[in-house]
Amino acid sequence: MRWLTELWRRRRCVKPWSTVSVVDLPDALDRRSVYLVGEAEHEWCVAMLCPCACGALIQLSLLAGGRPRWRYRLHEDRTLSLFPSVWRTIGCKSHFHVKRGQIIWHNDKSQLDTRTETILDTE
């Protein structure tokens, strides 16, 4: 019965995170928003609060010459997909993907299974 409960919890529909384009990162970030920081089509950073609710600010470089470097895809519905995955090596040690505004958790041994917004990739 536990596996059935876990399956239901992972498959429930969750409203996607919103995508906000900004020139400068605001002082207070919305808990369920992904921020594209830059000017026009020259974004240099993606920022968000950690989805595990630990409150940590995550900033990911989009600069072509930098390492590590992330890429993103902005879909027609203004949801965002982010590549590669985000894996915090300090603090909460969260490991996840952002796909079409959804947080897709990886079930690493180092990660707790008590996340509240877990879904599976159904596409």
Peptide linkage before 84 cis (omega within 30 of 0)? yes
In a domain, 117, yes or no: no
Mean pLDDT of the chain: 82
Q: For the chain, how many structural domains are there in total?
A: 1
In a domain, 112, yes or no: no
In a domain, 36, yes or no: yes
Dihedral angle of Cα 101, 105, 110, 115, to the nearest 10 degrees = 90
Residues facing residue 27 across a β-bridge: none
What pLDDT band is residue 12 in, cutting at 50, 70 and 90?
low
In a domain, 39, yes or no: yes
**pTM of this prediction?**
0.75
pLDDT at 51: 94
Domain enclosing residue 99, as ranges = 2-105
Nearest CA to 99 out of 80, 75, 113 is that of 80
Q: pLDDT per residue over 25-81, tens digit each?
A: 999 999 999 999 999 888 999 999 999 989 999 999 999 988 999 999 999 999 999
